[in-house]
A and B are shown apart, each in its own frame.
Chain A
Amino acid sequence: MSAPLTLGAARPVRLSAVNPVAQLTAIVVVTVVLLVSGGLVTPLLVLAAELTLLPAAGLTSPADVLRRTWPLLLSAASVAWVNVAFGAGTGGDPWLGGLALAVRVVALALPGLLLAVSTDPVRLADALTVHWRVSTRFAYGALAALRLVPLLAAEFETIRLARRARGVDAGRNPVAAVRLAAGTGFTLLVGAVRRGSRLATAMDARGFGSGLARSNARGSRLRAADAWFVAASVAVCTVALTVGVLTGSWHVVFAG
C-alpha cells in the first residue's frame, strides 16, 4: 500500500501554526458554501485558493502532492465520468457539468487533507476540548484509540503471513482473496478490541474515569492569525460566490 498510514504531521509545518478549531471553522464555511453551489466558477475559485495553501502544509513537490491526493483525483475523475456518460442532465454541456462536479469534489476534500497533514491529533483534541468544550473523556478516549492505527497496520502483515503458515492462501481466486482479507480483518479486530479494553483499564488506573475536572498541560491558544484565517476563508467564499453569480455560472444544487 503506497498510501500513508500515519496520522497527523510528522513535523510541524507553517499551517500547523493555525489552531485546529480555526481550520475546522474554515472547513465548515467552505463545505457549506460548496454543498449548495453548482456550476464551474465558484468551486474553481475556492479550489484555486486552497491550492495556494499546499506549500504551507509542507506539500511542495508535485510528487508529494500526488502521493497524498491520488485517491481523491481518481474519485473526482470517476464522478465526472459517471455524470458525463450517464447524467440525465438538466440541460447544458455534459462535459462542463462533469468538470464542475469533479472540481467541486476536489475543493470539498482538500481542506480536510490540509488539516490532516498539518495537525497533530493531540493538538486537535486539546483545541476541541479547550475551545469547543468537547467532552474530554470522548476526545482523549478517541485519541487513545487512534494511537492503535500504526500497530494495526503492522499486525495486518503478520496475520497475513501467519495464515499462509496455516496452509491458507488465496492463490489467484478473487473470492478466496476477499474471504482471506475478511478473516485477517476479524483477527485484527479481536486483537484491537482486547487491546482497547486493556487500554481503558490502564487509563482508569491513571484516573481517567475519576470524574474530576481535567486540566490540560499543553493548553491551546487562539491568536489573531486564527481569526484572520477564518476571515480569509469567508472572503474567498464570498468572492467565489459573487463571481459565480455575476458570470451566470452559479446555481443552487439542492434545487436540482
Chain B
Amino acid sequence: MADPAVRPSAGTRWRTVDIVVTAVLGVALGVVFWAWSLLSNALTPAFAGFPPSQAVLYGVWLIAAVVAPLVVRKPGAALFAELIGATVEALLGSHFGTLVILYGLLQGAAAEVAFALFRYRRFGWLQALLAGALSGVAAAVLDFLNYYPDWTAGWKTTYLLLVVASTTVIAGAGGMLLTRALAASGALSSFGAAGRTRV
C-alpha cells in the first residue's frame, strides 16, 4: 500500500525552527568563515607567485548561502544565513571588518536568485551549483571594487573564473553533500530536506 501523502511544511512561512536552524547554520559556519579567514591569511605567501590563485580558497565562505536554503527551503534563507555568518565573523574579529557583512548580504542575495528562478520549488544539484556560482560572481566583483581596483583585465578575468570555479565546487557541490550528510544523520528530521517519506 502506498504511503499516505505527507503534508509539505507550510509553504513560504518561516516556522521558529526554520529561523533558529538557519541562524545556527549561519553562526556555526560563521565560526568556520572566521577560522578560514585566518588560514587564508597565513597561506598568502603560498599564493605569492600569482595572487589571483588565492581565489581557489573562496568556496568555503559561501557554503552557508547554499546549505541553508537546501535545508529550510524558504525564500531568504541564503540571505539570512550569510548575513548571520558574516556578522559572527565580523564580531569575532575578521580582517575584513564590517565589510564582510556587505559581502554576506550580496553573496546571499546572489544565491537567492538561483533558487528564486525555480520559484523555491526545486532544491537539487542544479540549484545548488548555480547558487554557488552566482554568489561567487558577486564576491569576485566586490573584491575588484575593494581590494584589487588596480589589477589588469587579464588578472581580473582569471580571478573571476577561479572564484566561480571554487564556489561552484566547494560551496555548490560541497554544500549539497554537506546537506545530504546532515540529513543522513537524522539532524534534519524537522525539515523537508530530509526526504519526507515515512520510515
Q: Name A residues whose Cβ lies closer than 8 Å to a Cβ of B.
A: 3-5, 7-8, 27, 31, 35, 38, 68-69, 71-76, 78-79, 81-83, 85-90, 97, 101, 105, 108-113, 115-116, 137-138, 141-142, 144-146, 148-149, 152-153, 185-186, 188-190, 192-197, 199-201, 203-204, 208-209, 253-254, 256
Q: Is B19 an interface residue (CB 8 A)?
A: yes
Q: List 9 A-B contacts (CB under 8 A).
A: A72-B94, A87-B151, A88-B151, A113-B93, A115-B98, A116-B90, A149-B88, A193-B25, A200-B19
Q: Name B residues whose Cβ lies closer than 8 Å to a Cβ of A.
A: 14-17, 19-21, 23-28, 31-32, 34, 37-38, 41, 44, 48, 51, 71, 80, 84, 88, 90-99, 101-102, 145-152, 155, 178, 181-182, 185, 187-190
Say whether, besides A197-B190, A200-B16, A108 and B98 are in contact (CB < 8 Å): yes
With A71-B37, A75-B96, A78-B44 known, 20 other A-B pairs at CB within 8 A are A3-B34, A27-B98, A68-B93, A75-B37, A82-B148, A108-B98, A112-B98, A141-B20, A142-B19, A142-B84, A145-B24, A145-B26, A152-B27, A189-B178, A189-B187, A196-B20, A196-B23, A203-B20, A256-B149, A256-B150
CA distance A146 to B84 in the complex (A): 9
CA distance A105 to B190 in the complex (A): 42
Contacts of A113 in B (CB 8 A): 93, 97
CA distance A201 to B152 in the complex (A): 53
A-B Cβ contacts below 8 A, count:
182
B20 and A112 contacting across the interface, CB-CB below 8 Å? no
Pick from A71, A86, A145, A201: contact of B95, CB below 8 A: A71
Q: Chain B nearest CB: distance from A122 CB in Å?
A: 13
Query: Which partner residue on chain B sits nearest A79 by CB separation?
Result: B147
Pick from A83, A111, A153, A193: contact of B24, CB below 8 A: A193
